[in-house]
Amino acid sequence: MTLLLTLLTLGCAHTTKVPTFVGPAGTLDGGPTPPTAEPPPFSPPQAQRLDLPGGGQVWLIERPGLPLVSLRVIVPGGRAADPAASPGLVSMADEMLTHGAGERDAQAFAQAMDALALDLSASTDDTATVISLDTHAERLEPALDLLADALLRPIFAADELDRLRDQRKGELTVDQDDPRTVAGWVMDRVYYGEGHPLAHPAEGTLESIASLQADQLRASWEARRGATAPVFVVVGDVTADTITAELEARFSGWETAGSPAAVPPAPQPITQGPRLVLVDNPGATQTRLSVRMPAPAAADAQVEGARLGAIVLGGTFTSRLNRLLREEKGYTYGAFAGLQTARQDGVVVVGTSVQRDVTAPALQDLLGELRRIHEGLTAEELTKARGSRRTDLVEASASRSSLADLQVDLVLQGLAPDAYARQASEEATVDPAAALAAMSGSTLDHASVVVVGDLSVITGPVQAAVPGAWVVTDRLGRPLPAATK
Amino acid sequence: MTLALLALLGAPLQAAEPTLPFEQYQLDNGLNVILHVDHSLPQVVVDVWYGVGSKDEVAGRTGFAHLFEHLMFMGTTRLPGSGYDDLMEQYGGWNNAWTAEDSTNYYDVGPRELLPTLLWMEADRMDGLARAMTKKKLNLQRKVVLNELRQSILDVPYGSTEIEISPAMYPAGYPYAHPVIGSPEDLNAATVDDVVGFFDQWYVPDDASLVVAGDFEPDQVKPLIQRLFGGMASVPLPDRPAPPVPELPARPLVETTDQVQLPGTMLSWHSPAALSPGDAAMDALATILGEGMSSRMQARLVHDEGKVTELQVYQYSQKLSSIFQVFAVCAEGVQPEEVEAEVQEELDAIAARGPTEDELQRARNAIELQRIQELEDLHSRAETLNRYHFLTGTPDYLAKDLARYTDLTVSDVQAAAATLTLARRQTLRIRPQRAAQGGDK
CATH number, domain with residue B261: 3.30.830.10
**pLDDT for position B6:** 39
Q: Which B positions 391-410 lie with beta carbon below 8 A of chain A?
A: none
Cα distance between residue A32 and residue B114, in whole Å? 11
- Mark yes or no for CB contact B78/A28 under 8 Å: yes
- Mark yes or no for CB contact B96/A5 under 8 Å: yes
Cα distance between residue B214 and residue B46, in whole Å? 9
Question: What is the enclosing helix (H) or strand (E) of B306?
Answer: none
- Mark yes or no for CB contact A14/B86 under 8 Å: yes
Using alpha carbons, list the distances in angstroms from residue B176 to A347, B56, B100, B207, B273.
45, 9, 10, 19, 13
- Smallest CA–CA separation between A211 and chain B, in Å? 12
**pLDDT for position A474:** 97
**pLDDT for position B277:** 97
- Other CB atoms within 10 A of residue A361 CB: 15
Q: Catalogue all structural domains in chain A, each as residue range(s) with its CATH number.
A: 48-251 (3.30.830.10), 275-484 (3.30.830.10)
- Mark yes or no for CB contact B332/A170 under 8 Å: yes
Q: Which of B87, B94, B325, B430 to mutate to test the interface with A (most CBs of A within 10 A)?
A: B94
- Mark yes or no for CB contact A8/B377 under 8 Å: no
At position A374, the amino acid (one-letter code) is H
Which residues constitute the domain of residue B40?
20-229
SS (H, E, C) A138-161: HHHHHHHHHHHHHHHCECCCHHHH
Nearest Cα residue to B269 out of B413, B170, B412: B170
Number of domains present in the structure of chain B: 2
**pLDDT for position A22:** 65
User: Residue B32 in 3-state DSSP?
Assistant: strand
The residue of chain A with its CA nearest to that of B73 is A8
- Is residue B429 in some structural domain? yes
Nearest by CB to residue A107, choosing from B259, B299, B368, is B299
Q: Please determine, for residue A200, whether its predicted confidence score (pLDDT) is greater than 90.
A: yes
**pLDDT for position A3:** 32
Q: B83 and B35: one domain?
A: yes
Q: Please determine, for residue B11, whether its predicted confidence score (pLDDT) is greater than 70.
A: no
Q: Sheet containing A231-236: which strands, arranged edge to edge?
A: A48-51, A57-62, A231-236, A68-76, A128-136, A119-124
Q: Which B positions 366-395 lie with beta carbon below 8 A of chain A?
A: 366, 368-369, 372-373, 375-378
Q: Is B234 on the interface with A (CB under 8 A)?
A: no
Cα distance between residue B221 and residue B231, in whole Å? 16
- Is residue B3 in some structural domain? no
Question: pLDDT per residue over A268-317, tens digit each?
Answer: 888 888 999 999 999 999 999 999 999 999 999 999 999 999 999 999 99
Q: B267 and B204: one domain?
A: no
Cα distance between residue B235 and residue B127, in whole Å? 12
Cα distance between residue B385 and residue B36, in whole Å? 9
- Mark yes or no for CB contact B166/A21 under 8 Å: no
Q: Are B51 and B103 in contact (CB under 8 A)?
A: yes
Using alpha carbons, list the distances in angstroms from residue A149 to A155, A254, A257.
9, 12, 20
- Is residue B263 in some structural domain? yes
- Mark yes or no for CB contact A380/B90 under 8 Å: yes
Cα distance between residue B10 and residue B272, in whole Å? 31
- Mark yes or no for CB contact B127/A388 under 8 Å: no
For A18-22, A288-292, A347-351, B179-183, which range has the lowest pLDDT when averaged over its residues?
Answer: A18-22
**pLDDT for position B322:** 97
- Is residue B194 in some structural domain? yes
Residues of B in contact with A391 (CB under 8 A): 43, 92-94, 109-111
Q: Please determine, for residue B269, whether its predicted confidence score (pLDDT) is greater than 90.
A: yes
At position B234, the amino acid (one-letter code) is S
Q: Please determine, for residue A262, whether its predicted confidence score (pLDDT) is greater than 60.
A: yes
Q: Are A354 and A287 in contact (CB under 8 A)?
A: yes
The average pLDDT across A56-66 equals 96
- Is residue B179 in some structural domain? yes
Q: B173 and B257: one domain?
A: no
List of residues 6+ apart from A383 with CB closer than 8 A: B90
| Interchain CB contacts (distance < 8 Å): A and B | 338
Q: Is A286 on the interface with B (CB under 8 A)?
A: yes
Nearest by CB to residue B306, choosing from A135, A167, A285, is A167
Helix axes A379-396, A303-314, angle to 10 degrees: 100
Average pLDDT across chain B, whole number: 93
Question: pLDDT per residue over B137-188, tens digit each?
Answer: 999 999 999 999 998 999 899 999 999 999 999 999 999 999 999 999 999 9
**pLDDT for position A20:** 56
pTM of the model: 0.93
Using alpha carbons, list the distances in angstroms from residue B206 to A197, A459, B27, B123, B201.
60, 53, 10, 14, 10
- Other CB atoms within 10 A of residue A457 CB: 16
Burial of A368 (0-12, 13-18, 19+ CB in 10 A): exposed
Residues of B in contact with A14 (CB under 8 A): 86
Residues of A in contact with B113 (CB under 8 A): 35-39
**pLDDT for position B245:** 87
Tell how far CA A40 is from the center of its chain. 28
- Smallest CA–CA separation between B426 and chain A, in Å? 16
Cα distance between residue A105 and residue A119, in whole Å? 18
Q: Please determine, for residue B55, whether its predicted confidence score (pLDDT) is greater than 80.
A: yes
Q: B300 and B200: one domain?
A: no
Identify how many contiguous H helices and E strands chain B contains and give both numbers: 16, 11
Report residue B397: phi and psi, to 5°. Answer: -135, 0
Question: pLDDT per residue over B304-331, tens digit each?
Answer: 999 999 999 999 999 999 999 999 999 9
The residue of chain B with its CA nearest to that of A332 is B147
Cα distance between residue A151 and residue A163, in whole Å? 21
- Mark yes or no for CB contact B151/A333 under 8 Å: yes
pLDDT band at A257 (very low <50, low <70, confident <90, very high): confident
**pLDDT for position A422:** 96
- Mark yes or no for CB contact A177/B310 under 8 Å: no
Strand runs labelled E in A126-207: 128-136
Cα distance between residue A473 and residue A279, in whole Å? 6
**pLDDT for position A482:** 64
Cα distance between residue A212 and residue A93, in whole Å? 10
Q: What percent of chain A has pLDDT over 90?
A: 85
- Smallest CA–CA separation between A215 and chain B, in Å? 21
Domain boundary among B229, B263, B296: B229
Nearest by CB to residue B116, choosing from A33, A112, A117, is A33
Cα distance between residue A229 and residue A52, in whole Å? 10
3-state helix, strand, coil in chain B (%, to 5): 45, 20, 35
Residues of A in contact with B81 (CB under 8 A): 17
**pLDDT for position A272:** 85
pLDDT band at A1 (very low <50, low <70, confident <90, very high): very low
Question: What is the enclosing helix (H) or strand (E) of B360?
Answer: helix B357-374
- Mark yes or no for CB contact B114/A35 under 8 Å: yes
Question: pLDDT per residue over B79-112, tens digit each?
Answer: 999 999 999 999 999 999 999 999 999 999 999 9
Q: Are A406 and A420 in contact (CB under 8 A)?
A: yes
Q: Which B positions 193-222 lie with beta carbon below 8 A of chain A?
A: none
- Is residue B353 in some structural domain? yes
Q: Which of B69, B90, B379 to mutate to test the interface with A (most CBs of A within 10 A)?
A: B90
Q: Is B431 on the interface with A (CB under 8 A)?
A: no
Q: B38 and B187: one domain?
A: yes
List of residues 6+ apart from B304 with CB closer than 8 A: none
Q: Please determine, for residue B3, whether its predicted confidence score (pLDDT) is greater than 70.
A: no
- Mark yes or no for CB contact A4/B66 under 8 Å: yes
- Is residue B279 in some structural domain? yes
- Mark yes or no for CB contact B228/A28 under 8 Å: yes
- Other CB atoms within 10 A of residue B349 CB: 13
Burial of A429 (0-12, 13-18, 19+ CB in 10 A): exposed
The residue of chain B with its CA nearest to that of A108 is B294
* Rg of the Cα atoms in chain B: 23
For A33-47, A97-111, A192-206, B375-389, which range has the lowest pLDDT when averaged over its residues?
Answer: A33-47
Q: B191 and B316: one domain?
A: no
- Is residue B351 in some structural domain? yes
Residues of A in contact with B214 (CB under 8 A): none
Using alpha carbons, list the distances in angstroms from residue B331 to A65, B233, B261, B262, B303.
44, 58, 10, 7, 12
Q: Please determine, for residue B299, whether its predicted confidence score (pLDDT) is greater than 90.
A: yes
Residues of A in contact with B224 (CB under 8 A): 26, 33
Q: B217 and B310: one domain?
A: no
Residues of B in contact with A139 (CB under 8 A): 10
Q: Sheet containing A448-453: which strands, arranged edge to edge?
A: A332-341, A346-355, A286-295, A448-453, A275-280, A470-473
Q: Are A165 and A132 in contact (CB under 8 A)?
A: no
Q: What percent of chain B has pLDDT over 70?
A: 95
Q: Are A235 and A403 in contact (CB under 8 A)?
A: yes
Q: Region of B76 please: left (phi>0), alpha (psi -120 to 50) or beta.
A: beta
- Mark yes or no for CB contact A316/B94 under 8 Å: yes
Q: B217 and B313: one domain?
A: no
Nearest by CB to residue B440, choosing from A179, A391, A475, is A475
- Mark yes or no for CB contact B228/A112 under 8 Å: no
Q: B216 and B261: one domain?
A: no
List of residues 6+ apart from A424 with CB closer than 8 A: A41, A42, A43, A390
The average pLDDT across A331-344 equals 96
Q: B356 and B219: one domain?
A: no
Cα distance between residue A142 and residue B13, in whole Å? 14
Q: Is B116 on the interface with A (CB under 8 A)?
A: yes
Q: Are A345 and A297 in contact (CB under 8 A)?
A: yes
Residues of B in contact with A39 (CB under 8 A): 42, 91-92, 111-114
Strand runs labelled E in B191-301: 208-214, 253-258, 264-271
The average pLDDT across A237-262 equals 89
**What is the sign of the dihedral through the CA atoms of A416, A419, A422 and A423?**
positive
- Mark yes or no for CB contact A391/B376 under 8 Å: no
Average pLDDT across chain A, whole number: 92
- Of the two residues A405 and A481, the one the predictor is more confident about is A405
Biggest distance spanned by C-alpha atoms of chain A:
77
pLDDT band at B349 (very low <50, low <70, confident <90, very high): very high
- Of the two residues B2 and A304, the one the predictor is more confident about is A304
Question: pLDDT per residue over A409-459, tens digit each?
Answer: 999 999 999 999 999 999 999 999 999 999 999 999 999 999 999 999 999
**pLDDT for position A10:** 28
Torsion angle in degrees (nearest 10) through CA of A70, A74, A79, A83: -140
- Mark yes or no for CB contact A395/B96 under 8 Å: no
Q: Which B positions 258-317 lie with beta carbon below 8 A of chain A?
A: 259-262, 291-295, 299, 302-303, 306, 309-310, 314, 316
Q: Is A142 on the interface with B (CB under 8 A)?
A: yes
Q: Please determine, for residue A14, whether its predicted confidence score (pLDDT) is greater than 80.
A: no
**What is the sign of the dihedral through the CA atoms of B394, B395, B398 and B399?**
negative
**pLDDT for position B16:** 64
- Mark yes or no for CB contact B147/A163 under 8 Å: no
Residues of A in contact with B108 (CB under 8 A): none
Interface confidence, given as ipTM, is 0.90
Nearest by CB to residue B331, choosing from A166, A176, A390, is A166
Q: B148 and B53: one domain?
A: yes
Cα distance between residue A182 and residue B91, in whole Å? 37
Report residue A285: phi and psi, to 5°. Answer: -85, -15
Cα distance between residue A110 and residue A150, in whole Å? 11
Q: B221 and B355: one domain?
A: no
- Smallest CA–CA separation between B283 and chain A, in Å? 15
pLDDT band at A253 (very low <50, low <70, confident <90, very high): confident
